[in-house]
């Protein structure tokens, strides 16, 4: 049997328990928070005063902070790209009663609220050029992305396990900065978004755990492949109006590191956590090739940490079109 067919068989085996995954890791729509819960109510007389309060508080946060928040928002808003990518995995068919398609749609529906609330908050803050932000979002969706997984569910679940934890870290750090600056509403919003990302991270790591039980060697090789080629960020093709595809990502990453929202050390920590969560040191019945892959993964965090220590984050002032000139 081909590797692709084995993967389909494993996906079909996991699919039998998809309802339990949905119940365990996702929340009923009527019970979960909605963007309106964190935003001024336009039907109330206090609406204008609440907006003014947001705008006054927003003046206290510097441009670097807003650049990071804009980048996070655009990343969240590019969900149509991610959903279409996941729906194309081996073992997923887009029929209404397909379990994996049901999971992907329900996951997307939860994630969609993040970009929605952040976008509205940016608009109310008065700190950013929303038209430029909107053009960057449209470009990111139009440009698509290639995370190096093709239609392999094993590699995709490594990617989502990693990326959901990365977004948890990013939103959680935004919450800490906002709270420190007295921006309580933004802090609370970012904290609860981070909570969603953690639940989703736990779900995808659970899928990988189950695959390790059924097909350990191929799962280990898929994990090694993703880490050897590095996890690319969903916003890898970030650009401004009239900019080239991906031309803005390096500058954005520099600002995110400078602010402390997401750094190279966070990347290494995520890898260490995945090694621990999946207990790759204890997995048995591996092929010789998979044993080498495990050795590589076990040694990789220390190697990457030493490299990261030598990286100097520049203090270059970037002029993002997203920002309104002071």
Q: Is 139 part of any known ligand binding site?
A: no
Cα separation of 238 and 76, whole Å? 12
Cα separation of 26 and 37, whole Å? 19
Cα separation of 224 and 238, whole Å? 27
Cα separation of 315 and 323, whole Å? 18
Q: Is 53 part of any known ligand binding site?
A: no
H runs (alpha helix) in the chain: 3-15, 18-25, 47-58, 63-77, 79-86, 99-125, 130-143, 153-180, 184-214, 216-228, 249-259, 264-277, 288-309
Beta bridge partners of residue 159, listed in sequence order: none
Catalytic residue among 15, 90, 152, 196: 196
8 A C-beta contact, residue 129 and residue 321: yes
Q: Is 114 part of any known ligand binding site?
A: yes
Cα 238–chain centre separation: 14
Catalytic residue among 63, 76, 77, 251: 76
Catalytic residue among 13, 33, 83, 269: 33
- Among this protein's residues, is 85 annotated catalytic? no
Q: Which two tokens stand for residue 219?
A: 């799962």
Read out DSSP for 27-74? --TTTS--GGGGS--TTSTTHHHHHHHHHHHHTTS-HHHHHHHHHHHH
- Among this protein's residues, is 309 annotated catalytic? no
- Among this protein's residues, is 75 annotated catalytic? no
Q: Is 134 part of any known ligand binding site?
A: no
- Among this protein's residues, is 114 annotated catalytic? yes
Q: In whole angstroms, how far apart are CA 59 and each of 55, 126, 239, 248?
A: 7, 9, 25, 24
Angle at 33 between CA 28 and CA 38, to 5 degrees: 170
Rounded to the nearest 10 degrees, what angle do helices 184-214 and 18-25 cross at?
Answer: 160
- Among this protein's residues, is 196 annotated catalytic? yes
Catalytic residue among 15, 64, 111, 116: 111
- Among this protein's residues, is 167 annotated catalytic? yes
Catalytic residue among 15, 116, 164, 206: 164
- Among this protein's residues, is 76 annotated catalytic? yes
Q: Is 229 part of any known ligand binding site?
A: no
Catalytic residue among 167, 205, 215, 251: 167
Cα separation of 65 and 140, whole Å? 21
Q: Is 225 part of any known ligand binding site?
A: no
**Which residues does the annotation place in the binding site for Fe cation?**
76, 111, 114, 164, 197, 200
Catalytic residues: 33, 76, 111, 114, 164, 167, 196-197, 200
**Which residues does the annotation place in the binding site?**
76, 111, 114, 164, 197, 200
């Amino acid at each position: 049997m081909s590797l692709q067919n084995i993967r389909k068989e494993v996906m079909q085996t996991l699919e039998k328990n998809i309802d339990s995954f949905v119940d365990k890791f996702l929340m009923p729509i009527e019970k979960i928070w909605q963007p309106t819960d964190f935003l001024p109510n336009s039907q109330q007389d206090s609406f204008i005063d609440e907006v003014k309060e947001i705008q006054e508080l927003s003046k206290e946060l510097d441009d670097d902070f807003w650049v990071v928040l804009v980048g996070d928002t655009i990343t969240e808003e590019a969900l149509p790209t991610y959903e279409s990518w996941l729906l194309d995995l081996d073992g997923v068919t887009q029929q209404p009663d397909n379990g994996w398609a049901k999971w992907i749609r329900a996951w997307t529906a939860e994630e969609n609220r993040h970009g929605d609330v952040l976008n509205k908050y940016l608009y109310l803050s008065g700190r950013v050029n929303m038209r430029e932000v909107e053009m960057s979002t449209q470009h990111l969706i139009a440009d698509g992305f290639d995370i190096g997984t093709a239609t392999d569910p094993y590699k995709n679940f490594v990617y989502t396990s990693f990326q959901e934890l990365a977004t948890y870290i990013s939103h959680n750090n935004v919450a800490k900065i906002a709270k420190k600056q007295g921006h309580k509403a933004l802090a609370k919003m970012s904290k609860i978004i981070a909570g969603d990302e953690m639940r989703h991270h736990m779900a995808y790591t659970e899928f990988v755990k189950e695959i390790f039980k059924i097909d350990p060697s191929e799962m280990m090789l898929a994990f090694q492949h993703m880490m050897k080629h590095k996890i690319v960020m969903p916003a890898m093709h970030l650009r401004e109006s009239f900019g080239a595809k991906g031309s803005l990502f390096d500058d954005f990453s520099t600002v995110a590191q400078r602010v402390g929202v997401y750094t190279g050390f966070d990347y290494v920590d995520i890898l260490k956590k995945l090694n621990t969560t999946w207990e790759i040191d204890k997995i048995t019945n591996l092929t010789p090739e998979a044993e080498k892959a495990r050795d590589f993964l076990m040694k990789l965090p220390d190697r990457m940490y030493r490299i990261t220590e030598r990286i100097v984050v520049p203090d270059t002032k970037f002029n993002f079109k997203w920002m309104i000139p002071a």
